[in-house]
Amino acid sequence: MADAATVEIYTSMFCGYCVRAKKLLSQKGVSFTEKDVTADKNGRTLMTSRAGGRTSVPQIFINGDHIGGCDELFTLERAGTLDKLLSLSA
């Protein structure tokens, strides 16, 4: 995929919303970097800082921009704007 976006997703173990978000990205053929913050205090602190104080997982970033969590990811998908953010369409 040419000019693919850089996608980062902060997750934790046993998180159903994390599984849903990763499944959607995988179904779209999007590569992403997963950062498990289950037992990573420093990672969770960084995630919270980057996410404007949000502490829940997942927290998703596309090209360094915070898009939110699972609900926001699916909202973008339903609105038809996720593919553009991910550079899946011209």
The pLDDT, as a whole number, for residue 88 is 60
Domain ranges of the chain: 7-85
Q: Which residue has the higher pLDDT, 67 or 88?
A: 67
Using alpha carbons, list the distances in angstroms from residue 68 to 3, 18, 60, 72: 22, 12, 6, 6
pTM of this structure = 0.92
- Tell me the CATH class for 7-85: alpha beta
For 86, list phi and psi in degrees, rounded to 5: -85, 0
Q: Other C-beta atoms within 10 Å of 68: how many?
A: 17
For range 36-49, the mean pLDDT: 98
- Is residue 90 very low, low, confident or very high in pLDDT (cuts 50, 70, 90)? very low
Q: What are phi and psi of 60, to 5 degrees?
A: -120, 135
CA distances to 26, 39, 55, 66 from 45, in Å: 26, 11, 8, 15
pLDDT at 50 over 60: yes
- pLDDT averaged over every residue in the chain: 94
Distance in angstroms (rounded) separating the CA atoms of residues 78 and 13: 26
3 pLDDT tier (thresholds 50, 70, 90): confident
